[in-house]
A and B are shown apart, each in its own frame.
Chain A
Amino acid sequence: MSRFERKILFAIGLSVFLALGGSIFLAQGALREVYRVGVNERFGAELVHGVEARRGQLMALRSGSEQVADAVGSAVEAELAKRRNTSKLEGVLRQLLQQYEFVQGIRVVDDAGAEVASVSREADPSGATMRTTTRERDVDAEGKKLRVAVQVAVPEVYFERLQEAGDASEVYSRLQRQSASVSDVYVWVFGIMVFLVIVVAFLIGAIVSRRVTRRVTVLAEASRQVGAGDLSVTLPTGATDEVTELTQAFNDMVRDLRDSRTRIEYLQRISAWQDFARRLAHEIKNPLTPIQLAAQEMDETYDGENEAYRKKLEHARAIIEEEVATLRRLVGEFSAFAKLPRADLSPSDLCDLVQSIHDSVPAILEDVGHGTPAPVEVRVNCATEPIRVRMDPMMLKRGVDNILRNAIQAVYETHPSGGGRVLVRAYATDVAGFIEIRDNGPGISKENWDRVFDPYYTSKAEGTGLGLAIVKKVVLEHGGEVRLDRAPEGGARFSIELPLMESR
């Protein structure tokens, strides 16, 4: 695990722990307070009292029913003692039935089990469920033993309410006994949830930080590669975050470095070629005059009679003079290439340059056509707004003229009797100005697109191969780039890109 990951995880852990630890502390206090208010001994005691009251009520009813049975037994005994027969007993029982509310019926049987008298209350029209039981009393009258069965009843709802009160009291009692631990359970469960949240936060933090650190590590490794000189590194950019922006900036930086290095290498190579050209020109130029003079002298001083030999001398002199002239031209071009000055940049309008190129088109056409204008249509146009760049107009015009001349020659050779077209135009994007020269000539094969800018590379029989090298040198000194590809018309397209002075 990297230090960066450890720091991120520590920050996540600390912030989550502080926030949730504080909430546990507060929750614990709040729960205890809620239980202290909601579950208290006084309320529990009141519930118990309620149960006891209902039980007492039932016990009192039961006691009352026993007393009623005693009273009925005594009344029956008194009646038998008074009348000595049972003929009027039923009337007495009816009076007793009316007297005692809970008595549902009274039945008197003798010791043989035969019914002596019996009364019962009509069914309660309200239909309330009653719990009934029979209280029996033995009565002894004049040696005769009778049994008085008193049926007493109380509403079933009294018992149901006792059970309901008992259930409520029991649950409350359990809750009261467990109240401390219940709040602890809440805190424990909350604590476990908090722990899980912390674990999840850590996992997410670890995954996120690992993704970030992996990309940072890749970036660091790529930086080391760049530091070691490998400028071919390009990192993938997929996501949309700050690390991606950093990666994009890194890629841009490496691309700029790569372009700069290519530019510097090219300029160094050009410089070496310039040095070589200067020496070559010097070495070749010096013996040319003596060679030419020697040939002239040999021809002019021959006074022999051999006519054939004289003709050979004249022929040799002509060849030498022609080749010396060619060499002088080459030396001249080498010298010009060797003495090529550095571009002197100043703020200018690219359209002014294009206008000056337009002015030189007739001369070029005439030159290419060897005295008569070549039948090539040359169109030159520019944007209506100025395209402000820093440039050396003279050197850049020389370069563009060179390309234009090559284009006119190419289309003229392809379309000697007309139909050749060349377009020169200047335009700008947000960050760069462009001069584009394109034609409908034969074009240049793709494999030579890079090589055409190398010094001394030429496809023309009489070319020196310096023209496009000079163009590229000039453009690079402008901080720009020159490219070659295929024109929409089928020929070659040269694009010179120069940075704008101010982005649009």
Chain B
Amino acid sequence: MVSFSAKDLADERVRQELSSGLRKRLVVTVASHLKGSNRRIAVRQFGCDVTLDLWDDDYLVRIGNQSERLKTLENVLNRCLAVEGLFAGEPKSYQPQEGKEMYFVVRAEFNPISKKQCSELIRPTSGDDPVGPITVNIVRRRICRAERAIEFRSKDLKVPE
């Protein structure tokens, strides 16, 4: 289980954006890696859609299919960026790596545009242009990436036997 806080993501500008009344997204990805390797053992990702309700003056936070209302931005950040006892992957993912050294990497992103939404927003023009689809893919990556992101890692650990 992993516990961490990625509230450093919420700098002044992020806080302003979250209080703008427009829907914003916070995404946290936790991945475990073998030491000395970029190979992932397991990965867990979750996201919060945060909207300040200008009518009720509280925050509507939607995680997956569930939504809840929180009074303050601090509560929102605690709910979305501070994590206690998160399971990063299934136990079976770790069984082959028992006794090996590993570490966790946390990446928190503010307002990335999802692949699906990005594909809908930026489409290649129809026609025989061979460069278009390639270029659109690169442009999508640039435009749809998070407005702000932080990444940090844990100390090295041993996969329990």
Query: Which residues does A use to contact B, with CB under 8 Å?
Result: 51, 55, 58-59, 61-62, 131, 133, 154, 159, 162-163, 166-167, 170-171, 174-175, 178, 181-182, 185-186, 189-190, 193
Contacts and interface: CB of A to CB of B under 8 A. Distances in A.
Nearest to A188: B138
29 contacts: A58-B21, A58-B54, A58-B55, A59-B54, A62-B54, A62-B55, A62-B57, A131-B55, A133-B56, A154-B55, A163-B51, A166-B21, A167-B22, A170-B22, A170-B111, A171-B121, A174-B143, A174-B144, A178-B139, A178-B142, A181-B142, A182-B139, A185-B138, A185-B139, A185-B142, A186-B131, A186-B135, A189-B134, A189-B135
A461 to B, nearest CB: 88
A413 B76 CA distance: 128
A15 to B, nearest CB: 21
Contacts of A58: 21, 54-55
Nearest to B111: A170
Nearest to A175: B143
Nearest to B117: A167
B36 interface: no
B131 A166 contact: no
B93 to A, nearest CB: 35
B127 interface: no
Given A58-B54, A162-B22, 16 more contacts: A55-B21, A62-B57, A154-B55, A163-B23, A163-B51, A166-B20, A167-B22, A171-B121, A174-B143, A181-B142, A182-B139, A182-B142, A186-B135, A189-B134, A189-B138, A193-B130
B81 to A, nearest CB: 21
A271 to B, nearest CB: 75
Interface residues of B, number: 21
Interface of B: 20-23, 51, 54-57, 111, 113, 121, 130-131, 134-135, 138-139, 142-144
A416 B22 CA distance: 125
Counting from the closest, the 8 A-B pairs by CB-CB distance are A166-B22, A58-B54, A189-B135, A174-B143, A185-B138, A178-B142, A182-B139, A186-B135
B131 A193 contact: yes
B21 A189 contact: no
Given A175-B143, A181-B142, A159 B121 contact: no
Contacts of B57: 62
A19 B121 CA distance: 35
B54 A55 contact: yes
Contacts of A62: 54-55, 57
